[in-house]
A and B are shown apart, each in its own frame.
Chain A
């Protein structure tokens, strides 16, 4: 039961922010597909894990003290071979040490490079009166500018998830627009129900971001995830 262990470890360390690796492990255990993400503590480990996952890969700094990984120069994508991974590892470490000299850096997370799909955001927040609430929307610019998202109060049923995906203004984009592949809407709905089930049975979760989720014709995968625990 990795989830319980991760949560109690974070509590022991008085942390409310989980690392991306922890967040994906928890979501994965909840039945929500995430890109394979493995911690590498050294450059050599980064290479061997990359070879295990298969190129191209993404390297992201893994530190509970660095939440804005891109700003810290802690993200390198589309690394196609061993040499690229080695260089990226060194660059990430150097940049992050400058960005946050006191940060406790446990290494980098090595992730498979997910093929680009329809960009989705899913998440959860805890409302003072309604308790946990889940969110669904189109990711990227659409969520930033138009806030084209739908919410439901936890626990949700399949019918609620269907309403959530059908309610957003940009739902046509999910159905495949101008030659773009349609998104696997049924899978997205299933992920929403699993997200709701997870937060309903797991106390102490304050906020979750799954942003972006890439949705494909067949299936969908969480590319980046963030979990905040209640104080």
Chain B
């Protein structure tokens, strides 16, 4: 059934518009600009042609089958009427983007109930209402104009809020910061919920990482069951809204008075092996690390830095996030001894080596030697914005070393943002996970190590 949403052969857009800027126009244009190669049917009683497509007065007027209907109608009442038409037409998948339903309470709740009843009676799956549906290579139903094609990547994002999911998708696609394949916004979740998508993406071999933001949890018991299975195979990054202590209900037992929504959600995350994110940036950041880096077997980190003071700070952050900085093996220190005045430690302070043989050469020798050390599972590479850093990035020296060594790395940028932000954060950021602060990089790496260690133990 979910295939009808993601790979429909025919799509009708109800509330399509020929006026640029209107939502009903953006949706048609987004679908037209995607790789969707099936039949596109704009529906509007008052138009004849939109973006070169013939417009139909109603769903029932469309010849042939309609796999997916996308609606963006001004009133809930019209939406309910359209659902009835869809049922009569035999449509099995509907994305309802319009707001004004259960999120408003009152009549909105009643209208949503009507949608659910029609869907249940006719076996229709409904995404939404109050959502922006899907942003993918094959189809884009969101109301944010897309400027580039969605990459055919290995990450999917699941969100509730339509604007947020659509906006995040637009940013990611525009600046190529994350290799997504699909971004879904499921809004009020009157039918299709996170469990449907988690199961679907869990079974999709092209999806390596799932990142999910929920304001409400539809069915936590099932979520726990499904997430446990999926997270054992691929990372599931999870951000939950409404994690408040106030969630504790009036209970008769001691246990009930201590239990809160926040604690139960945290327990579910631990129990299932999902990875908890604390904000939207982390949803993307963690997904970037997980989707581009191999899984480490443990938490032993080499910190590579040009400045001793930075190394101290990173060491503290690593300790606070459960990462270890072991000594390098004597073989490695011996190999590197000519480049350093004092025996090389961890953090690996490149300064002496740079003064002797220059930055690029240092990167090519010291970094891979320390990184390859058998005591090391992963590395934090700290880059300052200088001319020679730019050169190393543009010649893809760092990217090549990381690829050759085959262990996970995060890059943290310090200083030089004014001139080199673009080359380090954006350009290198397309190939590797690059962070604008030490703490964000260390935290993301700690999540990778936590998950990697768990998977390694489970497989051992």
**A and B are partners in one complex rather than unrelated chains:** yes
How far, in angstroms, from A228 to B264 measured CA to CA in the complex?
Answer: 20
Partner of A130, one of B251, B264, B270: B264
Name the interface residues of A87-144: CB closer than 8 Å to any CB of B. 121, 123-125, 127, 129-131, 133, 135, 137, 143
Q: Are A151 and B267 in contact (CB under 8 A)?
A: yes
Residue A147 interfacial (CB < 8 Å): yes
Q: In the complex, are the beta carbons of A129 and B220 less than 8 A apart?
A: yes
* Given contacts A147-B258, A151-B264, A152-B267, A125 and B220 within 8 Å (CB-CB): no
**Residue pair A121, B264 in contact (C-beta under 8 Å):** no
Measured in the bound complex, the distance between the Cα atoms of B427 and A153 in whole Å is 43
Q: How long is the Cα–Cα vector from A155 to B331 in the complex, in angstroms?
A: 49
A124, B267: Cβ atoms closer than 8 Å: no
A135 touches B258 (CB 8 A): yes
Bound state CA distance, A207 and B259, in angstroms?
A: 11
**B253 x A131 contact (CB < 8 A):** no
Determine if B89 is an interface residue (Cβ-Cβ < 8 Å): no
A209 touches B253 (CB 8 A): yes
- Check if A35 is an interface residue, CB within 8 A of chain B: no
Assuming the A-B contacts A127-B259, A131-B220, are A153 and B253 also in contact, with contact meaning beta carbons closer than 8 angstroms in the complex?
Answer: no
Query: What's the Cα separation between A171 and B243 when bound, in Å?
Result: 25
20 A–B contacts from the bound complex (CB under 8 Å)? A17-B252, A121-B255, A123-B253, A123-B254, A123-B255, A124-B255, A125-B253, A125-B256, A127-B259, A129-B216, A129-B221, A130-B221, A133-B259, A135-B258, A143-B254, A143-B258, A151-B267, A154-B221, A206-B252, A228-B252
Tell me if B401 counts as interface (CB < 8 A to partner A).
no
- Asked whether any CB of chain A lies closer than 8 Å to the CB of B58, the reply is no
The 8 closest A-B pairs by CB, nearest first: A123-B255, A130-B220, A151-B267, A129-B220, A207-B253, A131-B221, A209-B253, A153-B224
Q: Which residue of B lies closest to A131 (CB)?
A: B221
The reply on A194 being an interface residue by CB < 8 A is no
Chain B 256-278 per-residue mask, 1 if CB under 8 angstroms from chain A, else 0:
10110101101110110000000
How many angstroms from the CA of A88 to the CA of B255 in the assembled complex?
30
Residue in A129, A137, A149, A160 with the greatest tally of chain B CB atoms within 10 Å: A129
Residue in B217, B252, B254, B264 with the greatest tally of chain A CB atoms within 10 Å: B254
Which residues of B line the A interface, CB within 8 A?
Answer: 216-221, 223-224, 251-256, 258-259, 261, 263-264, 266-268, 270-271
Query: Contact: A129 with B259, CB < 8 Å?
Result: no
Q: Is residue A208 contacting chain B, with contact meaning CB distance below 8 A? A: yes
Q: Is the CB of B252 within 8 A of A207?
A: yes
Contact across chains for B255 and A127 when beta carbons are under 8 A apart: no
In the complex, what distance in Å separates the CA atom of A74 from the CA atom of B376?
A: 63
B259 & A151 in contact (Cβ 8 Å cutoff):
yes
Q: Which residue of B lies closest to A129 (CB)?
A: B220
* A150: chain B residues within 8 A (beta carbon): 267
Q: Is the CB of B254 within 8 A of A127?
A: no
Which residue in chain A gives the minimum CB-CB distance to B245? A147
The CA-CA distance from A153 to B258 in the complex, in Å, is 15
Chain A residues contacting B217 (CB-CB under 8 Å) are: 129-130
User: Which chain B positions have C-beta within 8 A of A209?
Assistant: 253-255
Task: For B255, list chain A residues within 8 Å (CB).
Answer: 121, 123-125, 135, 207-209
Q: Once the chains are docked, how many angstroms separate the CA of A17 from the CA of B253?
A: 11
